[in-house]
A and B are shown apart, each in its own frame.
Chain A
Amino acid sequence: DVKVTQSSRYLVKRTGEKVFLECVQDMDHENMFWYRQDPGLGLRLIYFSYDVKMKEKGDIPEGYSVSREKKERFSLILESASTNQTSMYLCASSPATGGDEQYFGPGTRLTVT
């Protein structure tokens, strides 16, 4: 089974802190994605990566950055957390070929106070 793990299920940070959300997948997938999920807004793509050290902006990249130094790991960074970044963050991965299915992790519920 494909497994996507996220470093924390719940996280509470203060405004202005630098926050790292980590995601690891064990299926050698080329593509990795970060979404945020908010009630009434669905899933919105923040950043994605289709290769090591490659990244592309999604629909809402402002206030976020990402890092992908190894194929299996994709990190989301909030340089200076703000209260409007309180949300559920979901990581996903997919293979480059053979289909478009994305496999999601369980999510990290981030609260910024």
Chain B
Amino acid sequence: QQQVKQSPQSLIVQKGGISIINCAYENTAFDYFPWYQQFPGKGPALLIAIRPDVSEKKEGRFTISFNKSAKQFSLHIMDSQPGDSATYFCAASRSRSGANSKLTFGKGITLSVRP
């Protein structure tokens, strides 16, 4: 059972365009939803995260939109740049600490931004 599902599987966007990556989850106990960014040869790094008490969070060109009733959240990258080309993972977890702090990851999506 895949608890966190990403779509699309890959994405190609022109420079300056908007990149949108979607994620759906199944476990209603999840209360933390991060997006991780991974460049080739590097480990993933936290990009932006949201908790269900807000519907949207923006950091620079990156925005998370959260829909609790639909059990979905999405990452929007405005003014996409070639340097944004990377693999993006959504994830979810249940709790802030201890044994429940483990993340469940989606399968990842490769974003290519063309110059």
Contact = CB atoms under 8 A, between A and B. Distances in A.
Interface of A: 4, 31, 33, 35, 40-45, 48, 50, 56, 58, 90, 92, 94, 96-97, 99-107
B113 to A, nearest CB: 20
Contacts of A92: 43
Interface stretch (B62-70, B71-79, B98-106): B98-106
Closest 4 pairs (CB-CB, A-B)? A104-B43, A42-B107, A43-B105, A42-B108
Interface of B: 32, 34, 41-46, 49, 89, 93, 96-99, 101-108
A40 B108 CA distance: 8
B89 A106 contact: no
B44 A56 contact: no
Given A33-B102, A41-B107, A43-B105, A100 B34 contact: yes
Contact of A97 (B46, B97, B102): B97
Of residues B41, B99, B101, which shows the largest number of chain A Cβ atoms within 10 Å of its Cβ?
A: B101
A96 B102 CA distance: 11
24 contacts: A31-B98, A31-B101, A41-B107, A42-B89, A42-B106, A43-B44, A45-B102, A45-B103, A48-B102, A50-B99, A56-B99, A58-B102, A96-B97, A97-B96, A97-B97, A100-B34, A100-B96, A100-B101, A104-B43, A104-B45, A105-B43, A106-B42, A106-B43, A107-B43
Contacts of B43: 4, 90, 92, 104-107
Contacts of B98: 31, 50, 96
A43 B46 CA distance: 14
A41 B81 CA distance: 26
A64 to B, nearest CB: 16
A84 to B, nearest CB: 18
B107 A100 contact: no
Contact of B41 (A4, A31, A100, A106): A106
